[in-house]
Amino acid sequence: MRAVGAIPQVMAFSEVYQALQTGVVDGTENPPSNFYTQKMYEVQKHLSLTDHGYLGYAVITNKKFWDGLPADVQSQLDQAMKESTEFANKIAKEENDRALEGVRQAGKTEIYTPTPAERMALKKAMLKVHKEMESRIGKETIEAIYKETGFDPNKL
């Protein structure tokens, strides 16, 4: 958030609504479903649809255990994970779309979609954060994410 000029505040999630209401903070960083279910649209005047993050979940198992499973079981579990991930992502998208429509219907928050040029500026601003995070999460992880998402920082 600092990379784009914001001053982040750490607080309990249960305190955010009141902080917005009293002007202690100007905005939040949340998916539409949280924004809607927590009624932040009642007290936050602006919402930018940046799609800047991905909320995912990891399923982790012990390597020795995994390697000890028969190949057919590993294959079935891999397939089940792919299908359940696709299903969960579909549900999350539907929930977020429904929540965003609820925010629109409430009419209290101005919803803004950044232009392609603004999205590019956001990506450029984040490059220094990627660099800073190399020591924390590993350059290999960042490069793997670039590869998986088709993101090429050299083309910005």
pLDDT tens-digit series, residues 96-144: 999 999 999 999 999 999 999 999 999 999 999 999 999 999 999 999 9
Rounded Cα–Cα distance for residues 95 and 137 (Å): 30
**pLDDT at position 58:** 85
Give the ranges where the chain is alpha helix by DSSP (H): 16-22, 32-37, 63-68, 71-106, 116-137, 139-149
Residue 122, amino acid: L
pLDDT tens-digit series, residues 25-65: 999 999 999 999 999 999 999 999 999 887 788 889 999 99
Q: 87: buried, middle or exposed (CB in 10 Å: 19+, 13-18, 0-12)?
A: exposed
Rounded Cα–Cα distance for residues 120 and 153 (Å): 11
Backbone angles phi, psi at 61, to 5 degrees: -135, 160
Tokens 């202690």, residue located: 24
Rounded Cα–Cα distance for residues 33 and 102 (Å): 10
Residues in the chain: 156
**pLDDT at position 56:** 80
State which fold the 2-113 domain adopts: D-Maltodextrin-Binding Protein; domain 2 (3.40.190)
